[in-house]
Structure 1
Amino acid sequence: MTKITTIRDEQETNAQGMADALLHRMAPTTKLTENGQRFRHMTLLELARESLEVEGLNVRGKDRMEVAALALQSRNMGTSDFPSILANVGNKRMRLAYQQNPATYQLWARRAADLPDFKSVTAVQISSAPDLLRVNEDGEFQYGKMQDGAESYSLITYGRIVALTRQAMVNDDLRAFDTALAGFGSAAARLENRLVYAQLTGNAPMADGNALFDAQHKNAATGAGSALGLDALSAMRASMRQQRGLQSETLNIAPSFLIVPAALEQDAYKLTSANYTPSRFADVNEFREGGRSSLTPVVEPLLDNVSATQWYAAANNGQVDTVEYCYLAGTDGPVLETWNPFNIDAMNMKCRLDFAAKAIDYRGLYRADGK
Structure 2
Amino acid sequence: MADGNLNIPSARILAQHRQIATTGEYPSALADVMAERGVAVEAARVAMTHTKDLEHRLDASGTLSDAMRRHARQHYAQALAAGNDGATAVTQAVNAALGEVGEATQRQIHGVGGPRLSSNVGTSWDHGEGLRQKVQDGLTARLAQQMGLKHEPTVGREFATMQMGEMAMQMVRATGARPINHGEAIRMAVGSHSTSDFVLATQGSLENVLARGLEARTPEIERAARFTTRPDYRESFSLSLTESSTPQEVAEAGEIRYVTVDEKGEKNPVLRDFASGLAVSNKAIANDRIDLLGGVADAMLRAANVRKRIVMLEPIETNMVMRDGLAMFHADHGNLAASGGAPGVTTVGAAVKALRTQKGPFGEVLAIAPAFLIVPPDLETVAQQVVAALTPATVGEVNPWAGKLEVLVEPGLTDPAAWYIAADPARFDGLVWATKDDMTFPVVESKPGWTTLGLEFRLVWALDATFIETATWYKNPGV
Q: Same fold (TM over 0.5)?
A: yes
Residue pair 1:130, 1:145 contacting (<8 A) in 2 also: no
Q: How far off its partner does 1:270 sit? A: 2.2
Kindly provide the amino acid, as one letter, of the partner of residue 31 in structure 1.
E
Distance change >3 Å, CA 256–CA 30, structure 1 → 2: closer
Q: Which residue of 2 aligns with 1:236?
A: 351
Query: How high is the sequence identity, in percent, across the aligned residues?
Result: 24
Q: CA offsets, 1:214-271, max 9 Å, x none? A: 12222112546x2210110111122222322112222232322111112222222222
Kindly provide the amino acid, as one letter, of the partner of residue 353 in structure 2.
A
Q: Secondary structure at the match of 1:46?
A: helix
Residue pair 2:194, 2:448 contacting (<8 A) in 1 also: no
Question: 1:116 aligned to 2:224?
Answer: no
Q: Secondary structure at the match of 2:248?
A: coil
State the alpha-carbon separation in 1 of the partners of residues 243 and 431 from structure 2: 16
Q: Which residue of 1 aligns with 2:140?
A: 23
Q: Secondary structure at the match of 1:352?
A: strand
Distance change >3 Å, CA 336–CA 127, structure 1 → 2: farther
State the alpha-carbon separation in 1 of the partners of residues 445 and 230 from structure 2: 20
Kindly provide the amino acid, as one letter, of the partner of residue 149 in structure 1.
G
Kindly provide the amino acid, as one letter, of the partner of residue 36 in structure 1.
R
State the alpha-carbon separation in 1 of the partners of residues 155 and 268 from structure 2: 51
Distance change >3 Å, CA 204–CA 99, structure 1 → 2: same
Where does structure 2 lack aligned partners over 5 or more consecutive residues?
1-121
Distance change >3 Å, CA 274–CA 51, structure 1 → 2: same
**In structure 2, which of residues 302, 318, 328 is the aligned counterpart of residue 202 of structure 1?**
318
**In structure 1, which of residues 235, 243, 249 is the aligned counterpart of residue 364 of structure 2?**
249
State the alpha-carbon separation in 2 of the partners of residues 298 and 33 from structure 1: 37
Stretch of structure 1 that moved more, 100-109 or 208-217:
100-109
Residue pair 2:242, 2:261 contacting (<8 A) in 1 also: no
Residue pair 1:16, 1:36 contacting (<8 A) in 2 also: no
**In structure 1, which of residues 358, 365, 368 is the aligned counterpart of residue 466 of structure 2?**
358
Q: CA offsets, 1:41-95, max 9 Å, x none? A: 54322322222122210223x683x432211034598xx8321221222222222
Distance change >3 Å, CA 35–CA 132, structure 1 → 2: closer
State the alpha-carbon separation in 2 of the partners of residues 76 and 360 from structure 1: 42
Paired residues, what number?
A: 352
State the alpha-carbon separation in 1 of the partners of residues 242 and 304 from structure 2: 32
Kindly provide the amino acid, as one letter, of the partner of residue 323 in structure 1.
L
Distance change >3 Å, CA 322–CA 164, structure 1 → 2: same
Distance change >3 Å, CA 235–CA 209, structure 1 → 2: same
Kindly provide the amino acid, as one letter, of the partner of residue 156 in structure 1.
R
State the alpha-carbon separation in 2 of the partners of residues 7 and 365 from structure 1: 54
Q: Secondary structure at the match of 1:194?
A: helix
Bigger relative CO (Cα 8 Å, ≥ 6 apart): 1
Question: 1:163 aligned to 2:250?
Answer: no
Query: What TM-score, normalized to structure 1?
Result: 0.84
Q: CA offsets, 1:192-213, max 9 Å, x none? A: 1222122212112211111111
Q: Which residue of 2 aligns with 1:57?
A: 177
Query: What TM-score, normalized to structure 2?
Result: 0.66
Q: Which residue of 2 aligns with 1:299?
A: 409
Residue pair 1:260, 1:310 contacting (<8 A) in 2 also: yes
Bigger proportion of residues as helix: 2
Q: Secondary structure at the match of 1:111?
A: strand
Q: How far off its partner does 1:145 sit? A: 3.1
Residue pair 2:434, 2:465 contacting (<8 A) in 1 also: yes
Q: Which residue of 2 aligns with 1:73?
A: 191
Where does structure 1 lack aligned partners over 5 or more consecutive residues?
1-5
Residue pair 1:96, 1:185 contacting (<8 A) in 2 also: no
Q: Which residue of 1 aligns with 2:124?
A: 8
Structure of greater Rg: 1
Q: How far off its partner does 1:170 sit? A: 2.6
Kindly provide the amino acid, as one letter, of the partner of residue 264 in structure 1.
L
Q: How far off its partner does 1:14 sit? A: 4.4
Kindly provide the amino acid, as one letter, of the partner of residue 210 in structure 1.
L
Q: Which residue of 1 aligns with 2:299?
A: 183
Kindly provide the amino acid, as one letter, of the partner of residue 56 in structure 1.
G
Q: How far off its partner does 1:7 sit? A: 6.3
Distance change >3 Å, CA 178–CA 144, structure 1 → 2: same
State the alpha-carbon separation in 2 of the partners of residues 316 and 282 from structure 1: 29
State the alpha-carbon separation in 2 of the partners of residues 324 and 126 from structure 1: 20
